[in-house]
Each structure stands twice: as C-alpha cells, then as structure tokens.
Amino acid sequence: MNSPIQAQTMFQGLDALFTPPKSYVVQHTVQALQMDGNLQESDWQKAPWITDFVDIEGAGKPLPTWKTRVKMLWNDSTLFVAAALQEPQLWATQTEHDDIIFKDNDFEVFIDPDNNTHQYFEIEVNALNKTFDLFLPKPYRNGGDALVSWDAAGLQSAVKLEGTLNQPQDRDQGWVVEMAVPLKSLRLGYSFRAPTEGPCGA
C-alpha cells in the first residue's frame, strides 16, 4: 500500500487531469432512430446539445479553435450518440475498420460503465465513417495496453459531411456523426443487464 507521501508523488504534475467533469442527463427514447447523420427525428430535435468541448486539462489550456458538441439518447438496448464538429478542411485517409483512426481528425467516445476511470471502452470514427473500437483495462498513463481485438458488436454509425472530403482547394463547414452503441456490447464476458432510469449506480 502506498503512503500518502508516495501517492502525492505519484500524481504530482497530474492535477490538471482531475478537473471536475460536467454532467449531462441522457433522455430516454422509444423512437426508431435512423443512423444517417441527419438527426431529424423529433427526439433528437428535443435532446439538448452539451456545451462546446474544451481541452481535457480544463481552463489551463486554450479553447479549441473549432467547435465540437454532442447530444445523446438511450433506449433499453442502445446508447445513441450524435456529434457536430466544425472543420474547415474535411480530411480522412484511414480506410479500414480498426485502422489507427486518430491519425485522422476523428470523433472519439469513451464509455466507462462503472465510472472508475478503468475498464473502459473507446470508439473512434473518422469522416469516412471508419471505426476503431478498443478496450482499455487501465489508462495509458497508468501503463494500460489497449485490447484492439474487442469490437462493439452491432455498432451502427453514420457520417454526414458538410463540405467535400479531401479537397483542399475549398472551405468546408464540418461533419456530423451519429452512432448507435448496443449496451450489451459494453462488457467482457459478463451477463448483460438493461439500465434503469436514474443516477449512475441507482
């Protein structure tokens, strides 16, 4: 067991990584949502956008140049995620599933079912709608090693481009990502139990 002094030394310089996270109430839906990137269904229209993304290290870092925002819905089997990303030059070169998608500008979702910053799932998507899904037993900064063989079975995603891909001579607006993540895929060998409404852990 680490002493308090050892623990303080271990986390020295990482204070900025522990900024209090913001919260978002995910609304329940019974609509049949089409994964097409259009977000035209009435429940999507009613779901609020979060505030614009900021750097993970918080106020100590500059605000991003371009805006990214997200909204979410859920039903008894699926988490739905939609993101709108400003980007003046739409670009993507990774063309296969489980390519290293973050070599492109991408959108990434991190899902930590037990909210302990360990044993979490990551899904990345680029403007070509190619995905990279993986499982992290612990964060990279704690020596974690990604399990790339994990796949979000049944994942559906769609991308809507507001501009032209890989055309540097013009200026684009951005892109929209829409995805449906089956809740039962967010496990490694454990039985699936549908969530209930209420705060985490209820």
Domain boundaries, the chain: 24-185
The partner residues of 150 in beta bridges, in order of sequence, read none
Grouping H, G, I as helix, E, B as strand and the rest as coil, residue 113 is coil
Grouping H, G, I as helix, E, B as strand and the rest as coil, residue 55 is coil
Q: Which CATH architecture has domain 24-185?
A: Sandwich (2.60)
Q: Residue 4: its pLDDT value, please?
A: 42
Q: Residue 3: its pLDDT value, please?
A: 45
Q: Residue 199: its pLDDT value, please?
A: 59
Q: Residue 202: its pLDDT value, please?
A: 37
Q: Provide the residue-wise pLDDT of the chain in tens; the chain has 202 residues.
A: 444 444 445 545 555 556 677 889 999 999 999 999 999 999 999 999 999 998 887 888 899 999 999 999 999 999 999 999 999 999 999 999 999 999 999 999 999 988 888 999 999 999 999 999 999 999 888 888 999 999 999 999 999 999 999 999 999 999 999 999 999 999 886 655 666 666 554 3
